[in-house]
Each structure stands twice: as structure tokens, then as C-alpha cells.
Amino acid sequence: MRDNEYREKKTTSESRKRKNNSKNNSKNNSKNKRRQQVIRRRKQLIMLGAAAAVIIVIIALVVNLTGKDRDHDGIKDDEEKVVEADLSELKILSFDTLSINENEGRVSAGQFENIVQDLYDSGYCLVDIYDVAYTDSEGKFSYKDTITIPEGKKPLILIQRNVSYPQDASAQGLPEKMTVDDGKLVSEYKGQNNASEKGNYDIVPIIEEFISNNPEFSYNGARGVLGVSGENGIFGSQFSAAKDVIDAVSNAGWHFASIGYETDISYGSEISIMSEDVEKWEKEVESAIGETNIIILPRDTDIGSWAEYTDSNEKYALLKENGFSYYLLAQNTTPYMIQIRPDYVRVTFYKINTFEDYNAAMHPAQPTGEAQDGQSAGETPAPQPEGEGQSEQPATETQTEQQPVS
């Protein structure tokens, strides 16, 4: 009996061992399969990674060799030899919204097209406002007396003072709005029988069209600076309805700037009035167009003397606190002044109100009977800088001045 019980127990024990071994073998087999799957996946990922790296290298080589790495239309510094031009050669021209037809008090769209062609024929090339000063890793500015430009070109910065079209734009003979039509920025205005007409009737569409046909007119995708107030939205639309246009303009390479919220307020006024205007602009305008550090000082009024801005100047301190570091000011009597300090860049520009203003700025008449070297009397003089700098602060400021268009 005991022998039988012992044999039964032994048999049962051996059976359990076999079952346990079977389970363990099954578990081990399952683990081995998972390990093999993980190893296969790792090998596949390694192979895919290697293939991706090869593809990236090939793309980089193709881009480098073909030079097709531009963000916007325009020549890049790796496509053409570039040089350092004297900053005194820089021209900074500002215009208001163009009129549809010729108008005594404004530059018309047709006249502006002639101006752009004249600038191009004269060798000018758009450069970015941010290229006038060095900026270090901490955002501090330092002086430079040259600006990078393609060889044989002269630097130009364009400004449109206010792209917030007036409510009665049509009655004033101005474009009513700007839209994106089939991927292009175009202006609209009411023509005969109140019919809507679309075309290149303002600065942005004209410049975009010109650069698409003449990419060498823009260096590194540069466009210009567009002032925005808060009274009438932007480009003829309310901010909430203009996102597509704002994005298209910004993506093309244009920089937005504040020109104050109210168009009839000068920042030469009381600090309380100025502070309220700045607050309204940031709340209603900057929230729609995105942050900017550029301000076109409203109504051509500076916020301090030309000595320099300091934190003791409460108006400068207010604007600095609100993120502004580029200060643009109309001052036709001394074009162009560039003052660079660690915390700001102050630049004057030539304000072009009429076609005659453009000729006066770019093609000043030469007195009859006087000729420059190598010219006959009556010949149009070549553009010449007015001066190399100011004796007051020659190391940090540049002053410059230049021929007629019909």
C-alpha cells in the first residue's frame, strides 16, 4: 500500500514538473519571440534612420548647390557676390496710401510704379530695416558703418506710413481694401457704376508684382515697413476679418510697425495721453498683427532731442517698457540720421507726399552752369552723399543725402 501511494505521489510530482517545465518553456519561447521582434524592429528603425539621414544629406546638398533656399522672392547672399556698402548710401523713403488716379496731394499707383522702376534702374535694392545695426545674443545693438548688399547695388528701405485705410477711401480716390486673390495680394476699389475693381493699386501689391518679375530688387527677401494705426482696422478690413491678409503680408517679408492708435495724437503731447494711446494700440492692434519692436513716431514728432534717448526720458522709458526698440521719424531736412545705442535704433526717413517730393529727394536739381567733374553743364548729377556724419557723435550716427523722373 505504501509503495503504491509512494509511486502515485511520485508520478503526480513528475507530472507537475513536466507541466511546469512546459509552462516555463512556453514562457521562454514567448519571451524569445518578443526579443526577436524587438531586435527586428530595432534593425528596421536603424535602417530607416540611416536612409533618412542619407536623404537629408542629399536634400541639403541639392539645396546648397541649386541655391533654392529662399523664404521669399529675392536674391540671397549665396547667389551673388555681396559687399559692404557705406551706410551713408542708404536711402529710406516713406509713402502714404497711393491714390488710384493722379492727385496733387498724393503719389498715384501709376506714379509709384514709375518710381519703383526708376529706383531699380538706378541700382537700388531693398534691404531689411534690421540690417542697419548689429544685434548680439542678448538683443543689444551696436554701431556699424556699412550694410551688406549685392555687388553693384545700393541699399533702400521702403516705408508705408499707415495701412489703416480711411473709411471714406473711395470718396478720396484711394483703394478700399486689400485682399488675397488666387494667392496674390491685390487692392480693390469702387470704379464706375460702383463696380469693384481689383489690381495693383497700392504699395504692397505693386512691390510684390515687381519683385516677382525682378527678384534682384530684393536682397534676402527684404520688403519694407508698414505702419498700422487702430482707427480703421488694416488694409480696409476690421482686424478680426483680416487674418488672411495679415498672414500673407507678413509671410511675404513685410514688417508691421505701430504708428499710434489715434491718427491725430502726437507723442509730443502729455505723457498720460501718450500712455493711453500706447495701451490701446497694444490691446487692439498688436494682438491682431503680432508683436513688433518698430514704431513710426506719430505725426512726425520726436519724443526727445537728438542727443540720445535715456531712461530719464519718461516717454522713451514707456515705449521701451512696451517692447519698442526701433524708432522711425520723418525729418526731410536732414535725411538720413541713424543713431544706434545698446537699447535702441533711431532712424529718420524722407517723407514722400507727391511725385515732386520723390524727384526732390532722389534727383535734386543742379544749378544751371555748374557741373561736377566729368559732366557738362546741364547734365543731371550723379547721386552723392551729403555728409559722412555728425561731429557731435561721429562714431554712432550717420547723415546722408542724391537725380529726376518723369
pLDDT digit string (tens) for 304-341? 988 899 999 999 999 999 999 999 999 876 667 899 99
| Res. 165: pLDDT tops 60 | yes
Q: What's the CATH code, domain 82-399?
A: 3.20.20.370
pLDDT at 35 exceeding the cut of 80: no
Residue range 203-229: mean pLDDT, rounded: 98
Three-class DSSP labels, the chain: CHHHHHHHHHHHHHHHHHHHHHHHHHHHHHHHHHHHHHHHHHHHHHHHHHHHHHHHHHHHHHHHHHCCCCCCCCECCCCCCEEEEEHHHCEEEEECCCECCCECCECEHHHHHHHHHHHHHCCEEECCHHHHCEECCCCCEECCCEEEEECCCEEEEEEECCCCCCCCCCCCCCCCEEEEECCEEEEEEECHHHCEEEECCCHHHHHHHHHHHCHHHEECCCCEEEEECCCCCECCECHHHCHHHHHHHHHHCCEEEECCCCCCCCCCCCHHHHHHHHHHHHHHHHHHHCCCCEEECHHHCCCCCCCCCCCCCHHHHHHHHCCCCEEEEECCCCCCEEEEECCEEEEEEEEECCHHHHHHHHCCCCCCCCCCCCCCCCCCCCCCCCCCCCCCCCCCEEECCCCCCC
pTM tops 0.75, yes or no: no
pLDDT for res 65 = 35
How many angstroms from the chain centroid is the CA of residue 12? 86
Percent pLDDT > 90 in the chain is: 60
Q: Is the pLDDT of residue 393 over 50?
A: no
Q: What's the pLDDT score for residue 220?
A: 96
Asked whether the predicted pLDDT for residue 22 surpasses 60, the reply is no
pLDDT score at 305: 85
Check pLDDT > 70 for residue 20: no
Q: Is the pLDDT of residue 115 over 60?
A: yes
Please give the mean pLDDT across all residues of the chain. 79
Q: Which three cell numbers stand for residue 58?
A: 542629399
Between residues 120 and 38, the one the model is more confident about: 120
pLDDT of 263-279, one tens digit each?
Answer: 889 998 899 999 999 99
Per-domain boundaries in the chain: 1-69, 82-399
Cα–Cα distance between 191 and 181 in angstroms, integer?
A: 18
